[in-house]
Amino acid sequence: MHRNWNGEVEFVDVVIRQAHPGPRVPAYHSFEQKMRDGERYKREDDIAWTVLVDDLPGTTHQVYGGLADPTYIIDAKGRVAFYSMWTHAPTLHTSLEMLRTQGWRGVVGGGVDKTPHLAAAMTDGWKGLRRGLPQSLIDIETASPTVGISTWLGYQLRPLTAPMTLRAKPLPASAKIGLGVGAAAMLFLSARALIRDRSGYGSERRRIRMRPRRRQ
Amino acid sequence: MPNTDVALRFVGLENKMSLDEYNFEHFRTKHLLSDAKATVEERGIKPGELAPDFELPRVGGGSLRLSELQGKPVILHFGSFS
């Protein structure tokens, strides 16, 4: 996303509290500790834009809603144009395009996106979670069983799923139509197989197929 | 935190968390539920409102005030290292 908009839009990241503390990433007790993690974040995740570090009580984060992973688009006049409560790059991309057509001013796309966008979290969430192992995994499995394991699994499938789940732009219309047709075909074939099984038509055919041939 | 809009708003903030609540030691179900509640309530700065100004230390040195970026659109993301 940064590659697509760099030069036109300023990117700013604010480091907030530990979301999934663990032995190597304990809850913050000093600002220096938080700043060190900010430096690691910029280095390890190869962040090319500005990274700021919030204070220990999370003053800025709490005033801006205190959510786990939100992103705001602020227009050229310093007003909130869009608020993605669960950061989703394709939605932000569309909103930026709309804002550009409005001369970088005003509210776009209804102003708020509240969708949790779980597919992206399942693909990329393990990156943060693994920093706090093993405590982070035990905690999340206790708080919400199967979420930690699913996140691990999602990360393993990343080479296959990332082009879909972590894309920076929305899917083109042709891809959406293709996916829709594929899903409808799968649904149709499953329903047909189910109806055949229930009516006994399929099993009768299988029986006929399995009957041994008589020797002539 | 210098005397910015954010610092002034924080004083009167509803649902404000204490230092220990905010920097929790263990992720619990209540944190998931709190995030879900905040989402439903659309907690945060409303679209169309002026983004509260703040000044924060920058990784690599110095600090940045949000209002310094006025004149250009800004993507402002809040994220955790873990």
pLDDT band at A214; cut points 50, 70, 90: low
Kindly state whether residues A155 and A193 are assigned to the same domain. no
- Quick one: pLDDT at residue A62? 98
Q: What is the DSSP string of A143-165?
A: HSTTHHHHHHHHHHTHHHHHHHH
Bigger pLDDT: A120 or B72?
A: B72
Kindly state whether residues A164 and A197 are assigned to the same domain. no
Tell me whether residues A10 and B45 touch, CB distance under 8 A.
no
Per the structure, the complete domain to which residue A211 belongs is given by 171-216
Chain A partners of B6 at a C-beta cutoff of 8 Å?
59-60, 63-64
Domain assignment of residue A57, yes or no: no
Q: How far apart are CA A16 and CA A12, in angstroms?
A: 13
Tokens of B72: 């250009």
Tell me whether residues A20 and B73 touch, CB distance under 8 A.
no
Kindly state whether residues A160 and A190 are assigned to the same domain. no
Report the chain B residue with the minimal C-alpha distance to residue A31: B57
- Quick one: pLDDT at residue A89? 95
Scanning A151-210 for CB atoms below 8 A from B yields: none
Kindly state whether residues A137 and A161 are assigned to the same domain. yes
Domain assignment of residue A135, yes or no: yes
Closest Cβ opposite residue B82 in set A10, A62, A132: A132
Kindly state whether residues A163 and A189 are assigned to the same domain. no
Tell me whether residues A52 and B56 touch, CB distance under 8 A.
yes
Kindly state whether residues A178 and A207 are assigned to the same domain. yes
What is the rounded average pLDDT of the residues A60-78? 97
Domain assignment of residue A17, yes or no: no
Instruction: From A168, A187, A206, give the residue that closes a domain.
Output: A168
H-type alpha helices, A27-171:
31-44, 59-63, 89-101, 118-124, 126-129, 135-143, 147-156, 158-165
Domain assignment of residue A205, yes or no: yes
- AA letter at A93: H
pLDDT at A205 over 80: no
Q: How far apart are CA A147 and CA A145, in angstroms?
A: 6
Count of structural domains within chain A: 2
Report the chain B residue with the minimal C-alpha distance to residue A30: B23
- Quick one: pLDDT at residue A195? 86
Predicted interface score ipTM higher than 0.90: yes
Neighbours of A54 (CB within 10 A): 25
Q: Using DSSP bridges, classify how beta strands B55-57 and B63-65 pair: parallel, antiparallel or unpaired.
A: antiparallel
Q: Which pTM value belongs to this model? A: 0.85
Domain assignment of residue A212, yes or no: yes
Bigger pLDDT: B80 or A199?
A: B80
The percent of residues above 70 in pLDDT, for chain A, comes to: 92
Q: B26 to chain A, minimum CA–CA distance in Å?
A: 6
pLDDT at B55 over 80: yes
Kindly state whether residues A184 and A150 are assigned to the same domain. no
Domain assignment of residue A82, yes or no: no
Kindly state whether residues A152 and A188 are assigned to the same domain. no
Whether chain B has a CB inside 8 Å of the CB on A111: the answer is yes
pLDDT at B2 over 70: no
Instruction: From A150, A168, A186, give the residue that closes a domain.
Output: A168
Domain assignment of residue A49, yes or no: no
